Structure 1
């Protein structure tokens, strides 16, 4: 992967002349990863850049997060952009509303697993069990290192039967284990679905999708846009399907600011 800023001048014309559809993760992308997910707050500078970009005629934006829809909407707090919560299982935005259908059986299974995990993990300090309605997450970032493996063991023992019977799917993230519905639906499919909907608005106008993310769940989107978009991994030059990388959330904000300057005709000047 190349550092994105090394190629910024070459990308200037493309960024200026094409309709841009920005897809952004939240935790680890727009705001640094923190010990407690509730404490992850977007900076005023980043929020203002996003607000300004959302008002540009030739730019559309979607925040695609593992957080519940209500949570991510409250975290950003801006109108005029698309919010995809629970990794796209629920989506809301201008002229768009979607919620994946999950069975009553799945919801009952999720409640049962939650009850089991709460009981078995109750004595391990630092575990956070987050019920997001359509999904369930077990955060262990605050757990003592000696207790991390026991948390994972308890989790996998609790869900094993339901995975084998295809009642749920699980996916690991950064210091989190997540339970999802058994649906073929990921960030890559969400991005392509949203782009297909956008074509009805744009017609033949060229569109450049830009996806920026830092987690394993973002790799599906990187693969989906491999030949048609600009993909950016956040966190340094690591193994990823993204073409470019940015070192941290500060560089993400800086890049978004550069897009804003390009689109509004301001001179580009890196700090």
Structure 2
């Protein structure tokens, strides 16, 4: 899809938000910048999206970020996004590589116990795999037969998910148990404050992104990727459309900043 083939209301919203004095652009990773694949280690982003985000991050008064459920280290290694793009891992709580060491000893013990228990509970189930992170463990079932995957998820829900001090986040074919509370919305707000943004555009595809969509208002723009109910006002079918939208945003922002388009108040 090209920028010109985006739905007219979305094109207009992108053009409008591109003209804000201080713009914040934040995207989810899997299912937004990178297509969903069976092996998460092979989920590479669309090059067009990487180029557009990098170019946006280089513009004046424009802040760019990516918020992912992945561990920050994995997000940085896999995404290939430039250093100018702010990376936030673990659903909005992991802001730097030393995050795990900042957990107190009791919390770290709970994290280790979680991983050991989940390994015993579902780790040997065909098609089910664990993704350890600094402050959480995700249980993925997308490779499992539907009935097997649902049985594994239910075992987690009725088991370690009930422990005191454990925070549960469910997504598409995944359940994540964390030892700290996670919230992409809070991470979005933090970036907004740092950038002193006058408007934000947030793009995401999963239920965990709804916490960020819930923080949008006024001139902000929320875009849901794929089908399903969402708090986002706009939607696009897939990651190719996200790349086209980001390219359109980049072109509009460049033009406005260079004075090629009329600025409000001029």
What TM-score bracket applies, with the shorter chain setting the length?
0.7 to 0.9
Instruction: State the distance in 2 between where 1:182 and 1:122 align.
Output: 22
Instruction: State the distance in 2 between where 1:228 and 1:263 align.
Output: 15
Instruction: State the distance in 1 between where 2:241 and 2:161 align.
Output: 40
Q: How does 1:36-47 map to 2 (within 5 A)?
A: 36-47=39-50
Residues 1:147 and 1:14: Cα distance change in structure 2 (over 3 Å): closer
Give the number of aligned pairs: 250
Instruction: Please report how far the alpha carbon of residue 224 of structure 1 lies from its aligned counterpart in structure 2 after TM superposition.
Output: 0.8
Query: Do the aligned residues in 1 keep the contact of 2:203 with 2:223 (CA within 8 Å)?
Result: yes
Residues 1:175 and 1:135: Cα distance change in structure 2 (over 3 Å): same
Instruction: Please report how far the alpha carbon of residue 263 of structure 1 lies from its aligned counterpart in structure 2 after TM superposition.
Output: 1.8
TM-score (norm 2): 0.86
Deviations 1:1-54 (A, max 9, x none): xx9732223652441343210010000000111111111011222222222222
Query: Do the aligned residues in 1 keep the contact of 2:224 with 2:235 (CA within 8 Å)?
Result: yes
Structure 1 unaligned runs (5+)?
A: 200-205
Q: How does 1:35-184 map to 2 (within 5 A)?
A: 35-77=38-80, 78-92=82-96, 99=99, 101-162=102-163, 165=164, 167-183=165-181
Query: Do the aligned residues in 1 keep the contact of 2:118 with 2:160 (CA within 8 Å)?
Result: no
TM-score (norm 1): 0.84
Matched, 1:242 2:232: yes
Instruction: State the distance in 2 between where 1:210 and 1:10 align.
Output: 10
SS in 1 for 2:95: strand
CA RMSD of aligned residues (A): 2.3
Residue aligning to 2:243: 253
Deviations 1:150-173 (A, max 9, x none): 2013212331441xx3x1111111
Matched, 1:26 2:24: no
Residues 1:261 and 1:176: Cα distance change in structure 2 (over 3 Å): same
Instruction: State the distance in 2 between where 1:171 and 1:150 align.
Output: 17
Residues 1:90 and 1:190: Cα distance change in structure 2 (over 3 Å): same
